[in-house]
């Protein structure tokens, strides 16, 4: 018997579980909503879904590279609190997810979540995450990943115990000197957060937007129109030095740029990924007392 939309809606409102989980629960229990509630609780799905509205902006960034340094990944898995991020169960989960991604052909998170779990083909990663949410007791989120394969070599770097991670694709021979240089570049990327490798990668749309902003600033400051273009050009050069890796001041020697660091070396950077934990996630700023009052008000 196919579950009615009315029953699915009621079950979803009562448990917070997803539509497909609610549909399956009803079908497994002859459209008995009460039995379906218990079914979802027993499976850990209701408990997981109830927590799914809470913001997960802590967690870990992990970087894994194989022994040949030809294949690697960077992944971010979020939790609600730093306390859980330091928990061994959570760390093990992140390590397992990384190992799965190393074997995976998935190109995005949705595809990844629907893959059969590498340790147990009877369930997908989406189910693994729901089970982990129920067991750990916080909302968790497999947020993003990038995976590289290279003809050169890969270098990774983890900063502050997993708060920031960097994966760099290097075009150079794999030797001790180049590995040390690659490590320094990765550390620089972690600290300086460039958006591009070089200025040719900055799109016209981005540049035009910056120019418009600078021009408006100059007009508001009352600068003569005939010199504004020259001032804007100078500001664009400054912009490049902030967002382009090769034009940034090198963090370990600010008298030189990264480009100058790499000059006369048979070494180039093909691409990089930098993940900072929770970047772009709007964190909820409420103290415990406010949270309790909020919950009490909901239950009035």
15, part of any domain: yes
Residue 40 sits in a domain of what CATH number?
A: 1.10.8.10
Cα gap 53→151, rounded to integer Å:
42
Condensed to tens digits (0 to 9), the pLDDT of residues 54-106 reads 678 899 999 999 999 999 999 999 999 999 999 999 999 999 999 999 999 99
95, part of any domain: yes
- Residue 270 contacts by C-beta under 8 Å, 6 or more apart in sequence? 150, 152, 169, 170, 171
296, part of any domain: no
Number of structural domains found in the chain:
2
Q: Do residues 169 and 63 lie in contact, with contact meaning Cβ atoms separated by under 8 Å? A: no
Cα gap 124→71, rounded to integer Å:
24
**Residue 84: which domain range?**
58-198+268-276
174, part of any domain: yes
pTM for this entry: 0.77
3-class DSSP assignment, residue 162: coil
Q: What crossing angle do the helices spanning 19-28 and 5-15 adopt, rounded to 10°?
A: 110
Condensed to tens digits (0 to 9), the pLDDT of residues 129-181 reads 999 999 998 999 999 999 999 999 999 999 999 999 999 999 999 999 999 99
- Residue 201 contacts by C-beta under 8 Å, 6 or more apart in sequence? 244
Condensed to tens digits (0 to 9), the pLDDT of residues 6-26 reads 888 888 877 878 888 888 999
């Amino acid at each position: 018997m196919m579950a009615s939309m009315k029953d699915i809606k009621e079950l979803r409102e009562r448990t917070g579980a997803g539509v497909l989980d609610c549909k399956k629960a009803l079908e497994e229990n002859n459209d008995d909503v009460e039995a379906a509630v218990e079914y979802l609780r027993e499976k850990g799905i209701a408990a997981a879904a109830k927590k799914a509205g809470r913001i997960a902006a802590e967690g870990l960034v992990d970087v894994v590279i194989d022994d040949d340094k030809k294949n690697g990944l960077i992944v971010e898995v979020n939790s609600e609190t730093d306390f859980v991020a330091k928990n061994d169960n959570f760390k093990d989960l992140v390590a397992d997810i990384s190992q799965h991604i190393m074997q995976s052909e998935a190109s995005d998170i949705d595809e990844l979540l629907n893959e059969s779990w590498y340790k147990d083909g009877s369930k997908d990663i989406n189910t693994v995450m729901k089970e982990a949410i129920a067991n750990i007791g916080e909302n968790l989120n497999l947020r993003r990943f990038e995976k590289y394969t290279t003809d050169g070599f890969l270098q990774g770097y983890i900063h502050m115990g997993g708060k920031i991670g960097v994966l760099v694709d290097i075009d150079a021979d794999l030797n001790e000197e180049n590995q040390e240089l690659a490590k320094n570049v990765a550390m620089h990327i972690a600290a300086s957060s460039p958006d591009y490798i070089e200025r040719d990668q900055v799109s016209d749309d981005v540049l035009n937007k910056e120019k418009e902003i600078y021009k408006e600033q100059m007009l508001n400051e009352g600068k003569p129109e005939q010199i504004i273009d020259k001032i804007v050009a100078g500001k664009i050069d400054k912009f490049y030095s902030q967002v382009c890796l090769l034009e940034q001041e090198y963090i370990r020697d600010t008298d030189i740029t990264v480009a100058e660091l790499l000059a006369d070396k048979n070494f180039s950077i093909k691409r990089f990924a930098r993940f900072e934990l929770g970047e772009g996630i709007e964190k909820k700023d409420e103290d415990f007392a406010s949270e309790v009052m909020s919950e009490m008000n909901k239950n009035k």
